[in-house]
Amino acid sequence: MSDRTADGNACGRLRERALSVTTLAAGEFHAPSLADFFPPPILFEGTPFEMDRLMLIRVVVALLVAVFFFFAMRSPKIVPRGVQNVAEIMLDFVRIHIAEDILGKEQGRRFLPVIVTIFFLVVGLNLTSIIPFLNISSNARIGMPIVLAALAYIVFNYVGIKKYGFFRYVKSSIVIPNLPPALHLLVIPIEFVSTFLLRPFTLTIRLMANMLAGHIMLVLFFSATQFFFFDSDGIMRFFGIGSLIGGVAFTFFELLVIVLQAYIFALLTAVYIDLALHAEEH
């Protein structure tokens, strides 16, 4: 066999090995990609109502949350039992530790439906990130966080405008009393941007970014586990134990983040409503 033929065969083997590594990287050991967040439509394709997998998850989760509370509270007993007891504990947590703690008893009960809706929707949608075969929170894509932030934004501005009137509310929100006149030139634009532009933006980005980061970390941990256990050999397989332990530990941490993000979103909504109710008092 000539040197040229031997070199050609060696190059061919290298190309095959490179191809198999590339296939492995795109297959079993699969890194997060945009396809996870923008899957193809699965319902009503080609119409204004087309839905992909994440949109369908949103609808299903919203229906499940509504059905759970409907059946839990459809015929409430004075001494709650079973599902009613669970539902009341959950509702009391939001009522006492978020709504009434921030807004007081009267206003807390008034705005409890909005705060409860936001809290349990965020919890339900976030939980899908650790449910097998769903594996991603639809809050990791910006659509639903924007909708929830818009709801909070509309509610707190409506509350302030209804109480004070539009111009008085805006003035009370951006003009800080007893400041030297020259400072108003600096403070008024800052307060306007902070109150009317950044609040919905930060609500949206905080929720989306946390759930997106959690999804990426879980994908990397468990993809690495599969790779080390099934697609490597020798001592490399021992690294699979570490990545599996890390993935399980991070799943429990993600469960904490799921509830924490719902709590923060609902808490900030209550804070913004309270600030709107007392715009003239800051």
Q: What is the pLDDT of residues 84-132, one digit of tens each?
A: 999 999 999 999 999 999 999 999 999 999 999 999 999 999 999 999 8
> Is the whole-model pTM more than 0.75?
yes
For the chain, the average pLDDT equals 85
Closest to 103 measured CA to CA, from 281, 279, 282, 267? 267
**Predicted local confidence at residue 30, as pLDDT:** 53
Q: Exposed, middle or buried, 184 (CB in 10 Å: 0-12/13-18/19+)?
A: middle
Gap between the Cα atoms of 161 and 87, Å rounded: 34
The answer, yes or no, to whether residue 237 has pLDDT greater than 90, is no
Q: Exposed, middle or buried, 229 (CB in 10 Å: 0-12/13-18/19+)?
A: middle
Task: Name the pLDDT band for 36 (thresholds 50, 70, 90).
Answer: low
DSSP line for 125-190 = HHHGGGSTTT-S-GGGSTHHHHHHHHHHHHHHHHHHHHHH-HHHHHHHHHPPTT--HHHHHHHHHH
Q: Exposed, middle or buried, 68 (CB in 10 Å: 0-12/13-18/19+)?
A: middle
Q: What is the pLDDT of residues 137-165, one digit of tens each?
A: 889 999 999 999 999 999 999 999 999 99
